Chains A and B, each alone.
Chain A
Amino acid sequence: MADLRSPLSKVKGLGSAKEGTHHFWHQRLTSLLLIPLVLWLGFSLAAMPVDHATLVEWIRQPFVTVLLVLLIVVVFYHAQLGLQVVLEDYISSHAQRTISLLLTNFLCLLLGIVGVVSVLKISLGA
């Protein structure tokens, strides 16, 4: 039987989608990163009084600023990847699925940016 795949396509291991396992792989990578980050955030916040001064002082520590920005970026990337799978599984109409995916991706991006800018404003602002 004739093999219609070119040697290049075989060595790349990709089908007509032109991409492979990056969604699966990034979901796992982000979840690995989130293991220490989530435990750190959860117990740090729990141990803190809720007043504004304490929170601001905590965020202003350089390593806290860095870890928070990392956490926010990774969280919303992880959320975007996860929500995408849920939407793809449950919305069968092509138009509705495309629109909800676009909206979800945009909202994840927007929330991530708001989070990062807020942390930086607290950390670097006067």
Chain B
Amino acid sequence: MPNSKHPMSPHLQIYRLPLTALLSITHRITGVILALGCIVLVWILAAAANSVVYYQAMVPHLQSWYGQLFLFGFIFSLYLHFCNGVRHLFWDVGYGFELETVDLTAKLAIALAVILTVATWAVAGMG
């Protein structure tokens, strides 16, 4: 039946994840990224506690392209995990399970994460 209107998805191997599912697995991935990123943050904090010299040695790395890339990735992961986490908290108390709502809050969480990232980056740029 080549002209059948049957839905071709979900299929075992060919299945386009809906936005909600994509955000769900992203929540885990960002969680793991944040945990790993915290190692670097604690490292910086420990360097600052150790001596000015150790701390000053880290600053050029943070200002380099890979340092900025790390910071940007960490901050975006943080806010995405943050916004989606708040979404989870609403589900925990029983709100927002309707299909349209779930889709809307997924888009809202992503948009808010972008806004917060840009806002933090803007504040950092002014400082």
- Chain A residues with CB under 8 Å of chain B are 28, 31-32, 34-35, 38, 42-43, 45-52, 55-56, 59, 72, 75-76, 79, 82-83, 86, 108, 111, 114-115, 117-119, 121-122, 125
Contact = CB atoms under 8 A, between A and B. Distances in A.
A93 to B, nearest CB: 19
Contacts of B32: 83, 86
CB-CB nearest 3 A-B residue pairs: A118-B49, A46-B124, A46-B123
Chain B at the A interface: SS class = helix
B75 to A, nearest CB: 7
B127 A49 contact: yes
Interface residues of B, number: 35
Interface of B: 28, 31-32, 34-35, 38-39, 42, 45-46, 48-49, 52, 55-56, 59, 62-63, 75, 78-79, 82, 85-86, 88-89, 92, 116, 119-121, 123-124, 126-127
A55 B119 CA distance: 21
B67 to A, nearest CB: 11
Contacts of B119: 43
Contact of B38 (A34, A43, A76): A76
Contacts of A83: 31-32, 35
